[in-house]
Chains A and B, each alone.
Chain A
Amino acid sequence: MEFLNFLLILWAAWLLWRRPEHERFAFRLLVISCVLMALLFLIGTHGSLVPGLNL
């Protein structure tokens, strides 16, 4: 999924560079990529969302 996320990011960057009139779509790609990144991190911390230390 990390590979897919980098493809989304590349897509957004290409839009900024070559199709800047599609700002809204590029920004949506950015948001989707952020959500995917956060989701993968939460999957990686399965079991405890906050640090495993005394809070």
Chain B
Amino acid sequence: MALSEDRLRAILAWVVIVLLGGPITTAVLLGVLNGDSPCILCWAERTGMILIALVGLFVIRYGPRPRYLGMAVLLGLWGTFMAIRHSSLHLARDVGQGFSTTILGVHTYVWAWVIYATVLLAIGVLLLFVRRLAPEEGIREPGRAGRFATGLFIVVVAANALQAFASTGPPPYIGQGDPVRLSLNPRHWVWSLEELQPPRISLRGAWAIPAPDPGTADPDPAHGPLADLPTLPVSGWERIGVPLEGHLSGLARDSATGRYLAVTDRWGVYLLDGTLSHVVHRVVLDPGFSVDLTPLAGAAFLGGDTVGILCTNKSYALLMPDPQAQERAEWRHFLSTDGQMKELGLGRFQTVRAHQMYVMSLAFDPSARELVTLSVPNPRHRQLVVSRFARRDMVLSSEFRPSLAVGLTLAGPGRGLADYLVTGATVADGRLYAVSAAYSTLLVLDLQRREVVAAYALPGLAHPVGLAARGPELLVAQADGRIAVVERPEP
């Protein structure tokens, strides 16, 4: 079935009428009757719909020329992008939370998504049936429906212009990110340039977070943010005596069995005996399915036989040795395995203060039965956040930014705990010990008081990646598999 040009223009006139009389008129009425005032993004979305209607008027007046069709498709695509970009600000909020007016339970910015998608659909369907495009000349009489569409267009756009004048003001004022309700009383009009401040443009904005790289950190304790730290000398060196898949990236020790848990940046998980020279169990996690597993960064024994593995993106895996593990069932979880480990589950830790921050350490507090992570700073978010997750449901139970205890002083203005890059942590006797690859420093935190109660310089370390407690000692694991033994301080 082919569509003649006259028939196409008649249909298009009604499409324009529906577009103007439906969403665009509704938007104006919401303002007049309900006080709804568009934000700067809503204004752009509404303008885009009006421009699509204007392109329709061009077709009605001059026929379906290629550049009109091209412009309509571009506007439809751009409008879809605008609606998705706008909706993304609010889609992930909690239930019932959104921004401004809803229609049939759906916010207007989501409706924009539907409308632009419908416009693209209509363009596609009409193009399917167009017999031929119009030449680059000639003026058509709009017809009755076309004249009505043009008149309606002028009335509706004029109404929008009046609302825009009241809501956003004359140039150079622009729409606002957080507008106030529409009023016809000039005393209540807010004309603003706040959206121009600050004028930074970025592709990903707050989401442009580089992956942490402890290898580039300054290891010299003398350059650290805390002044006059006592030194904690290395009393001896040990090393992991088995070959690992990738570089060591985390270490934990089970005080009940004396076993060690070592993880690597290539998703290797190794349960080692008390001599660090024999592999009891071994798996390589499959990082690509179900939950994205970035390089492993922390490990902890969680009581019983369960072990927890943490990735830099706060995804985690729970594993358990099981002599009866079925290799066929575990094939989906592991790239390789000794056949005696099973996966209990994968998940993602959700944080609040440590949102958009990576982590490189995991500890387990047995008295509170909570897992503990410490954030690493990035150019967008410079803070040290301690996050605690209940073992029972793996959900955030508390978070805090530790303060400094009396007696600890900063080396200068602009310095702070966020200068540290914690790559290993462990809990022993109610204290949280954390080692920083930046400035080779050991931090001792009181979990009850939520403060750093002591700090020590650890000279001689090279790229520490893990921390474990062994009685009165702390074991600082390095990426090269060597382990520095230091006395565990009791502040």
- A19–B440 Cα distance when bound, in Å, is 76
Please provide the chain A residues from 1 to 51 with a CB less than 8 Å away from any CB of chain B in the complex. Answer: 1-7, 9-10, 12-14, 16-17, 20-21, 23, 26-27, 30-31, 33-34, 37-38, 40-51
Task: Please classify how large the interface on chain A is, using the bins under 10, 10 to 19, 20 to 34, 35 or more.
Answer: 35 or more
**Smallest CB gap from B173: residue in A:** A1
Contact check, B71 vs A30: say whether CB atoms are below 8 A apart: yes
B170 at the interface (CB under 8 A from A): yes
Contact, CB under 8 Å: B40 / A40:
yes
Select from chain B the residue with minimum beta-carbon distance to A42.
Answer: B201
- Selecting from B157-165, B248-256, B449-457, the interface stretch reads B157-165
* Cross-chain contact B54 with A41 (CB below 8 angstroms): no
B43 touches A2 (CB 8 A): yes
User: How far in angstroms is the closest Cβ of chain B from A5?
Assistant: 6
The answer to whether B154 touches A46 (Cβ under 8 A) is no
Distance in angstroms between the alpha carbons of A38 and B398 in the assembled complex: 42
User: Which of B44, B167, B172 makes the CB contact (< 8 A) with A44?
Assistant: B44
- Among A16, A21, A41, find the residue whose CB has the most chain B CB atoms closer than 10 A: A41
In the complex, chain B residues 185-229 whose Cβ is within 8 Å of any chain A Cβ: 195-196, 198-207
Which residues in window 412-452 of B have CB below 8 A to A? none
> Which bucket holds chain B's interface residue count?
35 or more
Q: Quick one: which of A13, A21, A40, A47 contacts B174, CB cutoff 8 A?
A: A40
Using known A-B contacts A38-B78, A40-B44, determine if residue A48 contacts B205 with beta carbons closer than 8 Å. Answer: yes
Complex Cα distance, B50 from A52, in Å, reads 27
CA–CA, A48 and B380, complex, Å = 13
In the complex, the chain B residue whose C-beta lies closest to that of A20 is: B139
Q: Are A17's CB and B47's CB within 8 A?
A: no
Q: Which residues of A contact B174 (CB under 8 A)?
A: 1-2, 40, 43
B50 with A45: CB separation less than 8 A: no
Q: In this complex, what residue of A is CB-closest to B88?
A: A51
Chain A binding surface, main DSSP class: helix
A-B pair number, CB within 8 angstroms: 153
The reply to whether B62 and A23 contact each other, CB–CB distance below 8 Å, is yes
Q: Are B47 and A48 within 8 A (Cβ)? A: no
- Spell out A's residues near B (CB within 8 Å): 1-7, 9-10, 12-14, 16-17, 20-21, 23, 26-27, 30-31, 33-34, 37-38, 40-54
Taking a contact as CB atoms closer than 8 A, the residue among A5, A14, A26, A52 that contacts B88 in the complex is A52
Task: Report Cα–Cα, A26/B62, bound state, in Å.
Answer: 12
Contacts of A30 in B (CB 8 A): 51, 54-55, 58, 71
Question: By the criterion CB–CB under 8 Å, are B92 and A48 in contact?
Answer: no
Instruction: Please report whether the interface of chain B is mostly helix, strand, loop or mixed according to DSSP.
Output: helix
Given A33-B47, A46-B200, decide whether A10 and B168 contact each other with a Cβ distance below 8 A: no
The answer to whether B171 touches A37, judged by C-beta atoms less than 8 angstroms apart, is no
Can you pick out 13 interface pairs between chain A and chain B where the beta carbons lie within 8 Å of each other? A3-B170, A9-B50, A10-B154, A23-B61, A31-B71, A34-B74, A40-B174, A43-B195, A44-B195, A46-B200, A46-B201, A47-B201, A52-B205
Contacts of B200 on A, CB cut-off 8 Å? 46-47
Contact in complex: B207, A3 (CB < 8 Å): no
A46–B173 CB distance below 8 A: no
**Shortest Cβ distance from B67 into A: residue:** A27
- The answer on a CB contact under 8 Å between B47 and A2 is yes
Closest B residue to A5 by CB, please name it. B47
In whole Å, how far is A46's beta carbon from the nearest beta carbon of chain B?
6
Report whether B61 and A20 are in contact in the complex, using a CB–CB cutoff of 8 Å.
yes
- CB of B164 within 8 A of CB of A41, answer no
Residues of B within 8 Å of A53, CB to CB, are: 88, 91-92, 207
With A9-B54, A43-B199 already in contact, 13 other A-B pairs whose C-beta atoms are closer than 8 Å: A2-B167, A3-B165, A3-B170, A6-B157, A6-B164, A9-B51, A20-B139, A34-B74, A41-B85, A43-B174, A44-B195, A53-B88, A53-B207
Looking at the complex, which one of A1, A37, A48, A52 makes contact with B168 (CB distance below 8 Å)?
A1
Query: Closest residue to A17 on the B side, CB-wise?
Result: B150
> Which residues of B sit under 8 angstroms from A1, Cβ to Cβ?
168, 171-175
**Sorted from nearest, which 7 A-B pairs have the closest CB atoms?**
A48-B205, A51-B88, A44-B40, A41-B44, A6-B161, A47-B205, A3-B164
Contacts of A34 in B (CB 8 A): 51, 71, 74-75, 78
